[in-house]
Amino acid sequence: MAAMQSLTIPRPDDWHLHLRDGEALRCVVRHTAETFGRAIVMPNLRPPVETVAQAEHYRARILEALDPGLRFDPLMTLYLTPRTTPQEVARAAAHPHVVAIKMYPAGATTNAEAGVSSLDGLEPVLEAMQEHQLPLLIHGESIDPGVDVFDREAVFVERQLGPLVQRFSNLRVVLEHITTAEAAAFVASAPANVAATITPQHLLLDRNALFAGGIRPHHWCLPVLKRERHRQALLAAVGTGDTSFFLGTDSAPHEEATKLSACGCAGIFSAPIALALYAEAFESIDALHRFEGFASRNGPAFYGLPVSKETVTLVRNPQQVPPSYPFGDGVVVPLRAGGVVRWSVRT
Ligand code: DOR
Ligand code: ZN
């Protein structure tokens, strides 16, 4: 069969995105809004977005940073901390623009210091989330210092996630940016209230990409890239068309100097080319017929939101990726910088 030359799908959404704040926000928001209709915006600012009032203010800043010609609906999240209350959960659930609560294990990643070291004591908050059907978005990595960095996700799934979904069997849970065969298998066999997002980098790169010819700080993100067999398991998971898996770029911009440092920040900036990169990944396993579900339908179905009535078209036109984009006083280097992506997006 001749290779598909173009693919038109309902305008997709990004179910996991970092937009930052201030000048940085101004620089990056358009890269998402040019392609995606909605995005779930992560709350790991400093200080974190903990309350509905803070989320409302942050949303207003995002809309203000947007070029007037762009239509984009930021969906807001609250940062789960030891101070989160069931009352705040109820307020969030009643709010039209707050869609979920994000759990960072304390210190697990960028700006995760405010997170929770365990879910013990948060049972009333989780009960309230279950009752109001407000999803819990989880950065699923163990923070036990004895656990190897490459095992942190699998250990979290076994020790924390398993017991959590058993105990709160009606809680809506999204295991974010999954990277392992263990996580994919867990989500595939869990009931429909448990889902997962997958990034472009974890579908396209294995951990060798961190060390190709030298250390590659622009491939450093958390959870860290894994072995090839895990990447193959993620591709297999999306290739089945299982509706539990959907698009979440985890596009996480950092100024170049903070990546190229003796202790560089974790985060890969993919927003401008993310959709095209996902198309490459799906094409690599002959699964472009599954792309629409993953990019445009499964996420809205999980969150109970309408599928977009607009469309975007992917065309098999190679595009050159710029070496960097302006970012505050400096620049941010995107995934595939200076390289070529085999697809382009026409909106
Ligand atoms: O690599 C990452 N960067 N992983 C995360 O979980 C956070 C993110 C960020 O905010 O930079
Ligand atoms: Zn993230």
Per-residue pLDDT of the chain (347 residues; tens, 9 = 90+): 578 899 999 999 999 999 999 999 999 999 999 999 999 999 999 999 999 999 999 999 999 999 999 999 999 999 999 999 999 999 999 999 999 999 999 988 888 889 998 888 999 999 999 999 999 999 999 999 999 999 999 999 999 999 999 999 999 999 999 999 999 999 999 999 999 999 999 999 999 999 999 999 999 999 999 999 999 999 999 999 999 999 999 999 999 999 999 999 999 999 999 999 999 999 999 999 999 999 999 999 999 999 999 999 999 999 999 999 999 999 999 999 999 999 999 87
Q: Does 105 sit behind a cis peptide bond, omega within 30 degrees of 0 on the bond before it?
A: no
Closest ligand 1 atom number to CA of residue 18: 10
Per-residue tokens: 311:
């469309």
How is residue 177 annotated by DSSP?
S
What are the tokens at 222? 């958390």
Residue 177 · residue 108 · CB < 8 Å: no
Shortest-distance Cα residue to atom 2 of ligand 1: 267
- Closest Cα to atom 4, ligand 1: which residue? 222
CA of 16 relative to ligand 2 center, distance in Å? 6
Mutate which of 110, 201, 261 for ligand 1 pocket (most atoms within 8 A of beta carbon) = 110
Q: Burial, 139: exposed, middle or buried (Cβ in 10 Å; 0-12, 13-18, 19+)?
A: buried
Amino acid 309 reads K
pLDDT at position 4 is 86
Q: Which of 18, 103, 137, 142 to probe ligand 1 with, by most ligand atoms within 8 A of CB?
A: 18
Q: Is the Cα dihedral 111, 116, 122, 127 positive or negative?
A: positive
Ligand nearest to the CA of 141: 1
State residue 331's pLDDT score. Answer: 98
Count other C-beta atoms under 10 Å from residue 323's C-beta: 11
Q: Is 250 a catalytic residue?
A: yes
- How many angstroms does the Cα of residue 9 sit away from the middle of ligand 2? 25
CA 133 to chain CA centroid, Å, is 20
β-bridge pairing 6-10 and 311-315: antiparallel
- Residue list, ligand 1 pocket, CB within 6 Å: 18, 44, 109-111, 139, 221-222, 252, 266-267
With 0-12 / 13-18 / 19 or more C-beta atoms within 10 angstroms meaning exposed / middle / buried, residue 340 is exposed
User: E-strand spans in 95-213?
Assistant: 98-103, 136-138, 173-175, 194-198
Distance from the alpha carbon of residue 44 to the mean position of ligand 1, in angstroms? 9
Which of 221, 327, 335 is the pocket-test mutation for ligand 1 (most atoms within 8 Å of CB)? 221
Angle of helix 86-94 relative to helix 52-64, nearest 10 degrees, comes to: 40
Ligand 1 centre to CA of 109 (Å) is 6
Cα-to-centroid distance, 6 and ligand 1 (Å) = 32
Task: Indicate the SS3 state at residue 65.
Answer: coil
Total H helices, total E strands in the chain: 13, 15
The answer to whether residues 15 and 39 touch, using CB atoms and an 8 Å cutoff, is yes
Cα distance from N-terminal residue to C-terminal residue, the chain:
27
The neighbouring-strand residues paired with 12 are none
Catalytic position from the list 73, 120, 250, 329 = 250
- Exposure string over 165-182, b if 16+ CB within 10 A, otherwise e: beebeebbbbbbbbbbbb
pLDDT at 111: 87
| pTM metric for this prediction | 0.97
Q: What are phi and psi of 17, to 5 degrees?
A: -145, 145
SS3 122: coil
Using CB atoms within 10 A of its CB, is residue 279 exposed (0-12), middle (13-18) or buried (19+)? buried
The token pair that represents 208 in the structure block:
């060798």
| Separation of alpha carbons 54 and 52, rounded Å | 5
Q: Ligand 1: which atom is nearest the Cα of residue 266?
A: 1
- Pick the atom of ligand 1 nearest to 254's CA: 11
